[in-house]
Chain A
Amino acid sequence: MTLLVLLGVPLFAAVVLAFIGDRRLAPEVNIAGSAATFAAGIALAFQVYEHGSMTAGGKFFFVDAFNVYLSVLTAFVSMTTAIFSRRYMRREREHGRVGHVGMRFYHAMFQLFIFAMLLCLLTNNIGVLWIAMELATLSTVLLVSLYRTPTAIEAAWKYFILCGVGIAQALFGTVLLYFAAERVLGEGGEALLWTNLSQVSDKLEPTVLSLAFVFLMVGYGTKVGLVPLHNWLPDAHSEGPTPISAVLSGLLLNIALYALVRCKALVDGSTHSHRAGDIMMGFGILSIIVAAFSLLRQKDIKRMFSYSSIEHMGIATFAFGLGGPIATFGALLHMLVHSLAKSSIFFTVGHASQMHRTQEIDKIRGLIKGNPLVGWGFMLGAMAIVGMPPFGVFTSEFLILTATMKDAPLMTPFLLLGLAVAFAAILRKVQFMVSGDAPSYQKPVKAAHLPVLVHMALVLIIGIYMPNFLNEWFHKAVEILR
């Protein structure tokens, strides 16, 4: 029941917001809708915590330790993003970057996007998972081109085409998976349910599943933004409105990785080998290295953090590929803390670029003097994302690094190199942006305080003390993924 509310609220809010349009209260309705979604998410989390995993709606939906935390995270970040976007989008509206139609569209699509992501997470059917993933892409394509500038349209077109192609590969993989499953489970919708598939995964035909995994890897890997399938990502994340960058980087990439990891668990069960994991490790390490070196030469602030997202998704993919309890635990944690830290960074980046009316790194200066919250929030966010203690990212990266040293020592230098380069690249640039005097063209901006503060506090708390329920869920999720 809670589950249906959780999915129903954003869908309903999308319809309502499409009707409200650009009226005065639209941002508040957007926040209220997201807050209601978050409340439903919390209620669901309590249920799962008490009763364990469950299915609903005639096995159509299911929740376990792995997707429940991602659902709560999705609902939470979309709520804080809605709060952030109220002030941010008002400012953009004043600057004339979006019009009436644009705002109507923005709010409705934002909620539809959240619905699509939650459907991805909560559905039990891998076919529906694919459909929801495509829906998530489609609902954000026109948000990326919201400003209608030539670059924004180019970015959105690239996003549409490349993700469309990518996700089509995943559908082919799904067809192959269904082919293998049908032979064991009989035909009909039942053969596409995770709950059924995971029980019979050792009976699935290994040759077909290996082939399916290649397609799924390329397909969902495109959406995760893994190198060399990442071309759309920096463009889409840098040209769209900043709240959209925050949810794309913080949430959508996680969802795609979730889909990939679920599929990997099935393939592993069938092939009894580490091949799927090896492929993921390869993609992961390549993404880390390429993204880290790309970070060095970025001139656009949002583009830089998009590359950082590629790097972090690479780390998580690598860790899932490595397998084993510690690495998987680290990867789950990494998805959580990266999502929180990255969206918080995008909030501050959004305000910073509004203050300077540009996204160019060279022109953004003196943030701390201009607006202490934005400046310090940005600085601390950057410190968190590069993996400095005591933030949560340090914990997860440390876990992953220890597991790598134990299970795949040869990979350690590459991982360390990527982390070190990213560390240097980001901190060097961020330092210049936050310090110094405020330039004359800097304009004050009414910043949204709450989202940044809450996100940073959470990243810090998770780094110092891991709540028990989270710990339990992660352990259970590690069991599921073994």
Chain B
Amino acid sequence: MIMNLQTAAQINEFLAAFVLLSAFGMLAQKRIYSLIHLFAWQGFFLSVNTAIVAYVAGRHHLYISSILTLSLKVILLPYILHALVVKLKIRKEVESMVNVPATMLIGIALVIFSYHLTAPVTELSKLITRSTIAVALAVFMIGLLMMITRKHAVTQIIGFLAMENGLFFAATSATYGMPMVVELGVALDVLIAAFIFGIFFFHIHTTFDSLDVERMARLKEGD
């Protein structure tokens, strides 16, 4: 083996740091274009990481997952989002966000919480990737936080996809990936979801004249 396990674990942690960094970047980024780029970068780091794990652990099915991530989350989804943003002319739309520092602090708290939560799992695991399980959960939680705090349809979708990235990362770190049939099925679901939100963007845009979901507030509990 060319790469010894120590180095592999270090590269794995290094890439995990970048995945987490891009998650935090997304949390603070206001411009939609840059957000899409950050999302693509996150997918890229994930894909490289998966390929390395596949090589070191000798799990060939992970190569397929890695290629799938590359084609779906680095190329196809950012391309679709990009095309939609151009088509709907929301290029310059800048989101108003409340209190970025507070959101970042919550994000940090979520990372700590994730380490606490996954401690029993990490302890039991013997895989070289065990130290990144917590990071995966953190990425997942930050995606969730992003969906809660942001009010733009495109941003919410990116948050959703970032959560999915976190899940994929978790599966790679905790168990060297889910069985192939599950990985493929999840990828298929993400692809269908992509088409659905594409259609949705058009519907929301034509109906509400903006992709700001704050404007959707008709369905509230009446008194």
Residues in A lying within 8 Å of B, measured CB to CB? 125, 127-128, 130-131, 134-135, 138, 141-142, 145, 148, 150-151, 153-158, 160-161, 164-165, 168, 171-172, 174-176, 178-179, 182-183, 187-189, 191-192, 205, 207-208, 211, 235, 239, 294, 297, 299
Stretch at the interface among B19-27, B39-47, B82-90, B174-182: B174-182
Task: Please state if B216 and A176 are interface contacts (CB–CB under 8 Å).
Answer: no
Q: Closest 8 interchain pairs by CB?
A: A127-B182, A131-B185, A154-B216, A189-B179, A207-B120, A134-B189, A179-B174, A235-B219
Task: Determine the distance from Cα of A235 to Cα of B140 in the docked complex, in whole angstroms.
Answer: 27
CB neighbours (8 Å) of A151 from chain B are 218-219
Residues of A within 8 A of B222 (CB): 297, 299
Asked if B213 CB lies within 8 Å of chain A CBs, one says yes
Q: Which residues of the other chain, B, contact A154 by a CB distance below 8 angstroms?
A: 216-219
User: What would 12 more interface pairs be, CB under 8 Å, given A142-B199, A168-B144, A175-B175?
Assistant: A127-B185, A128-B185, A134-B189, A150-B208, A161-B147, A161-B160, A164-B160, A168-B160, A171-B167, A176-B121, A188-B179, A192-B182
Interface string of B173-201 (1 = CB under 8 A from A): 01110111110011011001100110110
Asked whether, in the complex, the Cβ of A131 is within 8 Å of the Cβ of B203, the reply is no
Q: A135 contacts which of B167, B171, B192 (Cβ < 8 Å)?
A: B192
- A134: chain B residues at CB < 8 Å are 186, 189, 193
B188 and A131 form a contact (CB under 8 A): yes
**B174 A175 Cβ-Cβ under 8 A:** yes
Which residues of the other chain, B, contact A150 by a CB distance below 8 angstroms? 207-208, 216, 218
In contact, A164 and B193 (Cβ under 8 angstroms):
yes
Distance in angstroms between the alpha carbons of A128 and B167 in the assembled complex: 16
B156–A161 contact, CB under 8 A? Answer: yes
A172 to B173, alpha carbons, bound, how many Å? 12
- Which B residue's beta carbon lies closest to that of A205? B124
A150-B218, A171-B186 given; A192·B207 CB < 8 A: no
Are A239 and B219 in contact, CB atoms less than 8 angstroms apart?
yes
A219 to B57, CA, bound (A): 31
CB <8 Å contact, B181 and A165: no
Contact of A153 with B182 in the complex, beta carbons under 8 Å:
no
Contact between A138 and B174 (Cβ–Cβ < 8 Å)? no
Q: Which residues of A contact B125 (CB under 8 A)?
A: 179
B170 and A135 within 8 A (CB): no
15 pairs across A/B with beta carbons < 8 Å? A131-B186, A134-B186, A148-B207, A153-B204, A154-B218, A157-B213, A158-B219, A164-B160, A165-B144, A168-B163, A175-B171, A179-B175, A189-B179, A191-B179, A207-B120
From A127, A145, A183, contact of B203 by CB (8 A): A145
Closest to A183 in B: B124
Once the chains bind, are B160 and A208 in contact (CB under 8 Å)? no
B29 to chain A, nearest CB (A): 20
Contacts of A178 in B (CB 8 A): 171, 174-175, 178-179
Q: Of the candidates A153, A168, A187, which one forms a contact with B167 in the assembled complex, judged by CB atoms under 8 Å apart? A: A168
Which B residues are CB-close (under 8 A) to A131? 182, 185-186, 188-189
In chain A, what residue has the closest Cβ to B185? A131
How far apart are the CA atoms of A145 and B202 in the complex, in Å? 12
A208 and B124 contact, Cβ closer than 8 Å, known pairs A154-B219, A157-B204: yes
CB contact under 8 A between A138 and B192, given known A172-B137, A208-B121: yes
Interface size class of B (residues with CB under 8 A): 35 or more
Query: Which chain A positions have C-beta within 8 A of B197?
Result: 160
Contact (Cβ within 8 A) B200 A157: yes
- Are A127 and B221 interface neighbours, CB within 8 A? no
Complex CA–CA separation, A156 to B200 (angstroms): 9
With A and B bound together, what is the CA distance between A174 and B216 in angstroms?
Answer: 33
Query: Are A187 and B176 neighbours in the complex by a CB distance under 8 Å?
Result: yes
| Chain A residues with CB under 8 A of B167 | 168, 171-172, 175
The complex places the Cα of A135 from the Cα of B140 at a distance, in Å, of 21
In whole Å, how far is B181's beta carbon from the nearest beta carbon of chain A? 6
Q: Which residues of B contact A165 (CB under 8 A)?
A: 144, 147, 160, 163
Residue among A161, A192, A239 with most chain B CB within 10 A: A161
Report the separation of the CA atoms of residues A187 and B60 in the bound assembly, to the nearest whole angstrom: 13
**Counting chain A CB atoms within 10 Å of each CB, which of B137, B180, B181 scores highest?**
B181
Which B residues between 116 and 148 are near A, CB-CB below 8 angstroms?
117, 120-121, 124-125, 137, 140, 144, 147
* Docked-complex contact A141 and B179, CB < 8 angstroms: no
Q: With the chains together, A154 CA to B121 CA distance in Å? A: 39
Choice from B124, B153, B181, B196 contacting A141 with Cβ under 8 Å = B196
A176–B185 CA distance with the chains assembled, in angstroms: 18
CB-nearest residue of chain A relative to B222? Answer: A299
Are the C-beta atoms of A208 and B196 separated by less than 8 Å? no
Contacting pair B219 A135 (CB below 8 A): no
Q: Which residues of A contact B179 (CB under 8 A)?
A: 125, 127, 178, 187-189, 191-192
Render B15-39 as a binary contact track against A, CB cut-off 8 A, 1 for contact.
0000000000000000000000000
Task: Write the nearest CB–CB distance from A70 to chain B, whole angstroms.
Answer: 21
Contact assessment for A297 and B164 in the assembled complex, using a CB-CB cutoff below 8 Å: no
Of B117, B188, B223, the residue contacting A297 (CB under 8 A) is B223
CB distance from B116 to the nearest CB of A (A): 11
By a CB distance below 8 angstroms, the chain A residues around B164 are 168
Contact of B216 among A130, A153, A299 (CB under 8 A): A153
Complex interface: chain A residues within 8 A of B218 (CB): 150-151, 154
Chain B residue at minimal CB-CB distance from A207: B120
Determine the distance from Cα of A211 to Cα of B204 in the docked complex, in whole angstroms.
38
Q: How long is the Cα–Cα vector from A205 to B221 in the complex, in angstroms?
A: 43
Report the Cα distance A205→B120, complex, angstroms: 10
Residues of A within 8 A of B153 (CB): 157
Task: Point out the residues of chain A lying under 8 angstroms from B188, CB to CB.
Answer: 131
In this complex, the member of B121, B217, B219 whose beta carbon has the largest number of chain A beta carbons within 10 angstroms is: B219
Rounded to whole angstroms, the CA-CA distance of A182 and B185 in the bound complex is 20
Known: A154-B216, A157-B153, A165-B160. A127 touches B207 (CB 8 A): no
Measured between alpha carbons, how far is A175 from B176 in the docked complex, in Å? 10
Residues of B within 8 A of A161 (CB): 147, 156, 160
Contacting residue for A189 out of B120, B180, B203, CB 8 A = B180
Which of A128, A131, A160, A164 has the largest number of chain B CB atoms within 10 A?
Answer: A164
